[in-house]
């Protein structure tokens, strides 16, 4: 086939896929609207919508959930987004909205975790001919195109690591930032991560600069050994524990990690010398902060004018919903976040051999046409791993 033929074929598939998805999404907004979480103070929030051809519309607002419901059924968007900020005029351009305040929000995503298992379940898909490879090719082995997409099916290890990172974040928020456990809400993002929201009035008015500092704190960035009382001037090591002590926050975390207890100037100085001097001590501290810091996407928390997938809505990269996790340990995204009904089967063309779990069932699919429950069909089509027949 020539390039032109591949294109025509792709467009044909795309149209079929979108027709199918739109129908499913419309049913969801019609029958499953109750899953959409009613937001606090809805009329002060900015909404945004992504269409099936990836166009974003922002600066929209609703007075109540009924109005939103009507909008969804009429427009059938692929994605629904809502601001974590509250505004006097949510529909105005950003600089004229008049910010009231913003909830704290954090994003933990596979892309920031750099897990070694990632390569085992990442698929590279040619944008022209749908050819799939397991390693990132410089160009497609079939049609030589250089336009390559990638998609991930998270594995059990991925999910476990995401959960651990989420717990790490929560423990920071509770012990260091004094945020009540009950004010922290964990959501599965619907695709490869978790969104964590903290409704705490003390941080509601924190500006972007303050949030940046808070993020660096959580990530373990910019820690200075001076704050432990260790300095070096002209090659002379000086140790003087600060008046505010070492018993809280990162100072405590680091000294505990070094197994230093009841520290005195003397014992700290000895420790620094034992690890080989100032520079090596600094290096050790950097290792600890790097290891103990939480891996979050900093920009998500810093930027107060973002919009986020609305809780209860469908993630159009997977067909799974963004759902609240009341019990993080037992939460299984591939069953607890699948809110589509399996009232029928669909026929799909699977693009590559796949092995995955979905709604507590194991699927092993070969690269050929097959019949699957509609929710699995939606998942595979949105993951770009199958076409609807």
Partner 1 sequence: MGKDDFAKYPFLNEAGNFIKETYFDLDEFERPEFRHIIEKARKRVEYEVLKGIVCTEFEKYDLELFAFLISLIIIKHINIESITKKYSLFEAMRVEKFLTHDLIYQTNSKKRDLLISKIFHELLDLQIIQFDSQRNIFKMKISDYLSRSTLFHELEWKLINRSVDKGFVYLDVEETVRLVRNELSLLIYNKIKNMKITKIPDQIKLEADSIKHKVIFPTPVQTKNLKFPPCIEHALNQLNKNENLPHSARFLLATYMLFYGKSIDEIINIFKNAPDYNEQITRYQVEHLAGKKGSLIQYSVPSCSKLANENLCFYTHECKGITNPIQFGKKRLQRRND
Q: Binds 322, which of partner 1, Zn ion, none (CB < 5 to 8 A, cut-off by type)?
A: none
Among 103, 107, 130, 336, which one carries the catalytic annotation?
A: 107
Site for partner 1, rule CB under 8 A: 175-179, 202-203, 205-210, 212-214, 216-217, 220-224, 226-227, 242-251, 279, 282-283, 286, 298-299, 302-303
Q: Between residue 121 and residue 140, which ones bind Zn ion under the rule CB under 5 A?
A: 126, 128-129, 131, 140
Query: Is 213 in the active site?
Result: no
Query: Is 120 in the active site?
Result: no
Q: Tokens 């997409």 label which residue?
A: 149
Torsion of CA 295, 301, 306, 309, to 10 degrees: 50
Contact 312, 39 (CB under 8 A): no
Pick 124 or 177: Cβ nearer partner 1: 177
Cα distances (Å, whole numbers) of residue 301 to 15, 85, 131: 36, 11, 37
State the Cα–Cα distance between residues 249 and 253, nearest whole angstrom.
6
Residue spans of alpha helices (H) in 63-126: 65-75
Contacts of 102 (CB under 8 A, 6+ apart): 83, 84, 85, 86, 204, 206, 304
The number of residues that bind Zn ion (CB under 5 A) is 12
Q: Binds 290, which of partner 1, Zn ion, none (CB < 5 to 8 A, cut-off by type)?
A: none
Pick 140 or 372: Cβ nearer Zn ion: 140
Q: Tokens 């979108």 label which residue?
A: 18
Pick 27 or 303: Cβ nearer partner 1: 303
Q: Between residue 82 and residue 121, which ones bind Zn ion under the rule CB under 5 A?
A: 117
Q: Between residue 272 and residue 291, which ones bind Zn ion under the rule CB under 5 A?
A: none
CB of 252 to partner 1, least distance (A): 8
CB of 17 to partner 1, least distance (A): 31
For the window 148-187, what string marks contact with Zn ion as x by the rule CB under 5 A? -------x-xx-----------------------------
Among 112, 176, 297, 332, which one carries the catalytic annotation?
A: 297
> Tokens at residue 188, please?
């599965």
CB of 245 to partner 1, least distance (A): 6
CB of 252 to Zn ion, least distance (A): 33
Contact 258, 271 (CB under 8 A): yes
Query: Is 8 in the active site?
Result: no
Q: Which residues pair with 124 in a beta bridge?
A: 133, 150
State the Cα–Cα distance between residues 27 and 337, nearest whole angstrom.
17
Give backbone dihedrals phi and psi of 100, rounded to 5 degrees, phi first.
-95, -45
State the Cα–Cα distance between residues 185 and 187, nearest whole angstrom.
7
Cα distances (Å, whole numbers) of residue 47 to 14, 191, 309, 337: 27, 20, 10, 22
Select from 142, 237, 260, 389 the one that contacts Zn ion (CB under 5 A).
142
Q: Binds 142, which of Zn ion, partner 1, none (CB < 5 to 8 A, cut-off by type)?
A: Zn ion
Cα distances (Å, whole numbers) of residue 364 to 88, 135, 217, 317: 52, 20, 44, 21
Q: Binds 48, which of partner 1, Zn ion, none (CB < 5 to 8 A, cut-off by type)?
A: none
CB of 15 to partner 1, least distance (A): 32
Contacts of 225 (CB under 8 A, 6+ apart): 231, 278, 281, 282, 285
Q: Binds 158, which of Zn ion, partner 1, none (CB < 5 to 8 A, cut-off by type)?
A: Zn ion
Q: Binds 354, which of Zn ion, partner 1, none (CB < 5 to 8 A, cut-off by type)?
A: none
Pick 79 or 220: Cβ nearer partner 1: 220
Q: What is the set of active-site residues?
A: 107, 109, 297
Binding interface with Zn ion (CB under 5 A): 117, 126, 128-129, 131, 140, 142-143, 145, 155, 157-158
């Amino acid at each position: 086939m020539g390039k032109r033929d591949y294109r025509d074929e792709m467009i044909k598939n795309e149209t079929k896929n979108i027709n199918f998805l739109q129908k499913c999404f419309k049913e969801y907004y019609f029958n499953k609207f109750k899953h959409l979480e009613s937001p606090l103070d809805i009329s002060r929030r900015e909404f945004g919508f992504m269409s099936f051809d990836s166009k974003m519309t922002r600066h929209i607002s609703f007075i109540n959930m009924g109005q939103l419901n009507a909008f969804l059924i009429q427009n059938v968007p692929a994605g629904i987004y809502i601001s974590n900020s509250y505004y006097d005029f949510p529909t105005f351009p950003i600089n004229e909205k008049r910010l009231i305040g913003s909830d704290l929000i954090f994003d933990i995503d596979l892309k920031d975790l750099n897990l070694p298992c990632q390569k085992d379940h990442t698929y590279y898909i040619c944008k022209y001919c749908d050819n799939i490879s397991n390693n990132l090719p410089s160009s497609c082995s079939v049609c030589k195109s250089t336009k390559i997409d990638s998609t991930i099916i998270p594995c059990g290890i991925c999910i476990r690591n995401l959960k651990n990172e989420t717990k790490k974040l929560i423990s920071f928020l509770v012990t260091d930032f004094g945020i009540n456990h009950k004010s922290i809400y964990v959501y599965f993002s619907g695709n490869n991560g978790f969104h964590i929201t903290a409704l705490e009035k003390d941080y509601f008015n924190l500006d972007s600069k303050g949030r940046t500092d808070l993020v660096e704190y959580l990530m373990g960035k910019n820690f200075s050994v001076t704050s432990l009382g260790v300095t070096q001037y002209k090659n002379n090591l000086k140790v003087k524990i600060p008046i505010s002590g070492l018993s809280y926050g990162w100072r405590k975390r680091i000294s505990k990690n070094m197994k230093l207890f009841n520290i005195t100037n003397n014992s700290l100085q000895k420790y620094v010398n034992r690890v080989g001097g100032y520079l090596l001590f600094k290096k050790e501290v950097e290792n600890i902060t790097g290891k103990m810091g939480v891996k979050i996407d900093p920009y998500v928390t810093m930027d107060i004018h973002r919009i986020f997938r609305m809780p209860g809505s469908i993630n159009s990269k997977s067909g799974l919903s963004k759902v609240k996790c009341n019990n993080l340990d037992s939460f299984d995204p591939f069953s607890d976040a699948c809110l589509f009904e399996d009232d029928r089967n669909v026929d799909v063309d699977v693009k590559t051999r796949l092995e995955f779990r979905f709604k507590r069932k194991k699927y092993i699919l070969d690269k050929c046409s097959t019949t699957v429950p509609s929710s699995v069909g939606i998942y595979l089509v949105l993951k770009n791993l199958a076409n609807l027949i």
